[in-house]
Amino acid sequence: MKTKLTLLLIVVMALSSFGGMSIAQSEDTVNILFWQAASQMNPYLGTGTKEFEAAASVLEPLARYNPAGEMVPWLVDEIPTVENGGVSEDLTTITWTLSEGILWSDGSALTAHDVVFSGEFCLHPETGCTVLSQFDGVESIEALDDMTVKITFSGPKPFPYGPFVGFLTPIIQKAQFEDCIGAASLECSEENFGPIGTGPYVVEDFRVNDVVTYTANPNFREEGKPYFSRQVFKGGGDAESAARAVLETGEADYAWNLQISPAVLNAMEAAGNGTVIAGYANNVERLMVNQTNPDPMLDADTRSVWMEDNGNPHPFLHVPAIWQAMSMAIDRNTIATQLYGAGGVATCNVISGPPSVASPNNDACLVQDIDGANALLDEAGIMDSDGDGIREYMGMPLMVSYQTSTNAVRQNTQALIKQWWSEIGIETELRNISASVFFGGDVASPDTYAKFYTDIEMYTNGSNGTDMEPYLGNWRTTEIPGPWNKWGGSNVPRWYSEEFDALLDEMAATASAEGRIALTIQMNDMLVQNGVMIPLVFRASVSAHANSISGVDMNAWDSELWNIADWTRM
Amino acid sequence: MGKYVIRRLLTAVPTILVISFIIFAILELSPSDPTGNLPLTIPPEVRAKIREALGADDPFAVKYVKWLNQFFIAEPLNLFEKSFGVTLPGSEDRTRVISWATRGPVIDIIAERLPQTLWVVGSSYILGVMIAIPVGVFSAYRQYSIFDQVGTFLMMVGFSVPTFFTGLMFIIIFSVNLKWFPSVYDTTLVVTDIETLQLQLRQMFMPVTVLTLYTTAQMSRYTRASTLENLQQDYIRTARSKGLNERVVVSRHAVRNSLIPVVTLIALGIPGIFAGALITEQIFRVNGIGQYLIIAIQGGDLPTVQTVTFIFAVLVVLFNIVADVLYGILDPRVTYT
C-alpha cells in the first residue's frame, strides 16, 4: 500500500512538474468558452445563440448592429435609406450594393448572387429555416448585377432591414450550398459543419456539440487582421465553471452568458484574471398584470378569457390606485443589485433600450415608496375594514396569485415582492412552474404563461431587433390569446385599446426615424401608465474576458464576437 | 458451450428488436418536441415548417420502419463500403440516421466522441478494478484491522459523495489554487509524442481520478464481501490443514473463487463505459457520449436518442451473454447444455 501511495505521488508530481507552463495561454490562440455547445454552423438552421455565435466569425451579414444598436455597414459601403435612394419612396424595395473586392475564404469573389441565394435558402419551404421571420414580407430577392441586390416587399416596409442585417442572417456561399437547399439541407453535414465565409476566420475542424477550431482567413479584406491566428470555440459544461476558467484559472480568454449569482461572480472577478462585461439590448423582466378575471371558479370559456369591450374584467387590478401602489411598493434597485448584479439594472419601461427609444417619462418608479403606496390606497378608500391586514376593494380582499418559471433568481424576486406587497395590505400567493411547461405551448396545460390563470405573472421578453414595431405589435387587440387561437397570441396581459391599435397602424406607415421613436415612446408609456405591465429589471447579457485580451466590445444587439478581428493580446 | 453461445445470440435478436421498439415507443409518446427549445420569437408557422422538414410529424410506423431500415441496413452497408472502399449499387439512395439537431449522421458523431469517452471512462474503469481487487481482498483477509476500517471508511466516502462534488473540489484544489491540471478537457489534442502524451495524461488526471474513486469504492465492496464468504468455507480449512502456506491458500484458493461474482460484475459494467459518465463529462467538458445523449434528450432529438440508447441496449444484452459465458469458464460447477 505504501509503495502504491508513493507511486501515485510520483505520478502526480511528474504530471504537475509541467504545470503552469501549459495552463498558460498560447500567445496566438484565442480560447472562447460557450457552455452551450454548437450543434452545427449554418445559422439558417440554427436553434440557439450558440450556433449563430459559432458562425459569426466566419459568416458575415451585409450590415451589423454595434453595441449601441445602430446599424454599421459591413459588406457594403453604406446603409440604404430613403435619403440616399437605397430604399424606394413607396417603402417597398431596398437595394444593397456590395463593397468592391470582398473575397470568400476560398479566394472567389463575393457577388450579389450569393446574397440572393442566401435568401432563397431560407425562404425555401422545405429548408426548415429557423430565422424565417427575418424575411417577413419579402416578395422577391433579385440580383440587378454582380454587385447589387434588390429586395422587394409585398407592401410598404418602413423598416426594411430584416434580411441580411445582424448575425441571424449572414451571407452563405452559393457555390458551396447550391445542392443543399430545401430537403437536401438535412444531408449536407459537411457544408453545415464548415461553411465558407468572408469573415476573419475559417473553420478548421468542427466537432458536434463540442469544439470548433478556426484559423485566420488568408483572404480577409482587412490587412493584418485578425491578430490571433487561431480561435478555439469550446462548448459544454456550465456557466459557473466557464466563468471560473476565465476569471480564476485563466484557461480561457472569453466566456459567454454567465447568468450566475452576483456574489459568486464578484468573488471570481476579485481574483484579478479577468473582467466581467455586460451588454444591454432590450430584455426586460416584468410583471404582467392580468386584465381579465382569472377566478378559478369560472369555467374554461371564461377564466382569463377576454371578451368584447372588456366584458370580463379583473375584479380589482384595473383600478389605477391598486396597480400603482403595487408598482410603488417594489424596490427595483434592490432586486437588480442583489439578484442580478452585473446582469441587470432597475427600469420603469417596457422598452428600455436602445437608449434612443427609452422613455424618459416613467422614472419615478425607481424609488421605492411604501408610505406613498399606502397613502394612495387610503385616499382611494381601499381600506382594511376587518382588521386582518388585507385591504378590501368593494368588499373583495386584495389577494393576488403570482406565477413565474422555476429559477432561483425569479423565486427570490417573488419572495421580495410578496414581502413588499404585504406591507401595503396586499396578500400574495406564489407559484412557480417548470420553464418547459410555463413557456411550452401545450394547449391542455393550465400552467402556461399564455393561459395566464393567475393575477400576476413574471418573465422576460424583448425585441429581436432595434426596430420596435414588431415587438409593440405583441400588444395589439388581435394578439390576445384565447380559446379562438388556441392560446397562441402574444398579448398576454389581454390589453385592449383601440387607441394603441391605431398608433400601431400609424407606425406601420411612418418611415422617418424620429417619428418612429416618438411613437415607440408613446406606446411604451401607454403600456406602463395603464398598468398593463410593471417593468422591473432591464437585463443584460453577461460575459467575461481575460484581462490580457483587449478590443472586446460587448454587443447585445449582434454577435458578441462581432469585432473579433480587432481583438488582440496585450 | 459453442451451441449455448449460438443459442443465446439467436435469442438475443428478438430481444433486441423488442427493445428497439420499446425505446422508440417511449420516445414517441414523450411530449418532447424538436422545436421546443427554439427561442420564443420563432412563430408557430415556422416551427411547423421545421418539424415538417425534419419528418418529425410522420406517423409512428413510418418513422420506426425508416429508422430500422437506416440503422440495420443502410448504416452497416455504409460501414462496409467505407472499410473496403467499394461502392455497392443503390449507394446514392441510402439515407443514414440523421440527427435533427445537428443535421449530421448520428453514427459519425458517436464515432467522433467514442475516443474521449473510452480514454477517460475506460481508463478509470480499468484503474478502479486494478485498485479495488487487492484492496477488497486484503480488507477481507484482515477483517476489522486498521486497514479494513480505514479502507471501509474511504470506500463509503467514495461511494456516497457524488462525482459533481468531488469533481468541483478537485477543480478548486488542483486548477484554481495549485494550477497543476487543466479544468477544461481539450478533445482536439492528438497524442503524437512524449509532450502531447504528458498533456493528455495531465488533462485526464482529474476526471479519471474522480471516476476511479467511485468505481473502486463499488468494486472493492463486492470483492471484500465475496472474499469474506469464501475464507469461511470448508475448503479453505482443508487447504490450511494440508499445510499449504497462507499465501497460496489466499491467492490460489480463496481469491480465485471470490472473483467469480466480481468478474461477472465487471463484465456487466463494461457497457456503462460506452454510455459515458454524464456528470463527470459535463464538469470537465470532456464532451463524450454521455454529454451528447443529454443534449439530444433536452433538444428532443429523437433519432439520436434512439440510436444511442439502442446501441447501449445492444451492449448490455451482449455483455450479459459474455458474463454468463465467463461464469461457465470460471466456475466448473456451472455447465451449459
* 3-state SS record for B187-220: CCCCCCCHHHHHHHHHHHHHHHHHHHHHHHHHHH
Nearest CA in chain A to B292: A209
What would the grid cell of residue A37 be?
455547445
Which member of B50, B103, B205 has the closest CB to residue A40? B103
d(CA A138, CA A149): 13
d(CA B181, CA B194): 17
Ranges of chain A with pLDDT below 70: 1-26, 441
- Tell me the residues of chain A between 224 and 263 that have a Cβ less than 8 Å away from chain B: 232, 234-238, 241, 244-245, 248-249, 251-252
Chain A residues closer than 8 Å to B284 by CB: 237
Query: Chain B contact for A22, CB < 8 A?
Result: yes
- Tell me the residues of chain A between 187 and 206 that have a Cβ less than 8 Å away from chain B: 187-189, 192-193, 205
Q: What is the pLDDT of residue B63?
A: 87
Inter-chain residue contact A183 with B112, CB threshold 8 Å: no
Q: What is the pTM of this model?
A: 0.82
Higher pLDDT: B40 or B220? It is: B220
Number of CB pairs, chain A paired with chain B, less than 8 A apart: 167
Q: What is the pLDDT of residue A244?
A: 92
Higher pLDDT: B49 or A15? It is: B49
Using DSSP's 3-state secondary structure scheme, residue A499 falls into: helix
Inter-chain residue contact A20 with B44, CB threshold 8 Å: no
d(CA A373, CA A16): 62
The residue among A189, A204, A442 with the most chain B CBs within 10 A of its CB, best to mutate, is A189
Residue B41 pLDDT > 80: no
Chain A residues closer than 8 Å to B282 by CB: 236-238
Q: What is the pLDDT of residue B102?
A: 81
Q: What is the pLDDT of residue B39?
A: 62
Instruction: Supply the Cα-derived Rg of chain A in whole angstroms.
Output: 26
d(CA B31, CA B14): 28
Dihedral of CA A554/A559/A563/A564: which sign? positive
Chain B residues closer than 8 Å to A42 by CB: 103
DSSP string, A128-160: --TTGGGGTTEEEEEEEETTEEEEEESS--S--
Which member of B112, B147, B176 has the closest CB to residue A248? B176
Chain A residues closer than 8 Å to B292 by CB: 208-209
Which member of A130, A211, A440 has the closest CB to residue B36? A440
Q: What is the pLDDT of residue A5?
A: 53
d(CA A460, CA A40): 27
Inter-chain residue contact A40 with B40, CB threshold 8 Å: no
What would the grid cell of residue B294 be?
443529454
pLDDT digit string (tens) for B241-280? 998 888 888 888 888 888 888 988 898 888 888 777 888 8
On the 0-12 / 13-18 / 19+ scale of CB atoms within 10 A, B292 is buried
Inter-chain residue contact A192 with B104, CB threshold 8 Å: yes
CB A157 within 8 A of CB A92: yes
Q: What is the pLDDT of residue A17?
A: 46
In this prediction, residues B205-222 reach a mean pLDDT of 90
What would the grid cell of residue A501 be?
391599435
Instruction: Supply the Cα-derived Rg of chain B in whole angstroms.
Output: 24
d(CA A551, CA A67): 13
CB B187 within 8 A of CB B97: no
Inter-chain residue contact B38 with A248, CB threshold 8 Å: no
Query: Chain B contact for A443, CB < 8 A?
Result: no
Chain B residues closer than 8 Å to A40 by CB: 101-104
d(CA B32, CA B47): 14
Q: Is the ipTM here above 0.85?
A: no
The residue among A2, A29, A35, A186 with the most chain B CBs within 10 A of its CB, best to mutate, is A186
Inter-chain residue contact A128 with B52, CB threshold 8 Å: yes
- Whole-angstrom CA distances from A428 to A376, A415, B109 are 19, 10, 50
Higher pLDDT: B54 or A461? It is: A461
Inter-chain residue contact A235 with B37, CB threshold 8 Å: no
Higher pLDDT: A4 or B54? It is: B54
- How many degrees, rounded to 5, is the angle at CA A304 between CA A302 and CA A309? 75
Nearest CA in chain B to A186: B103
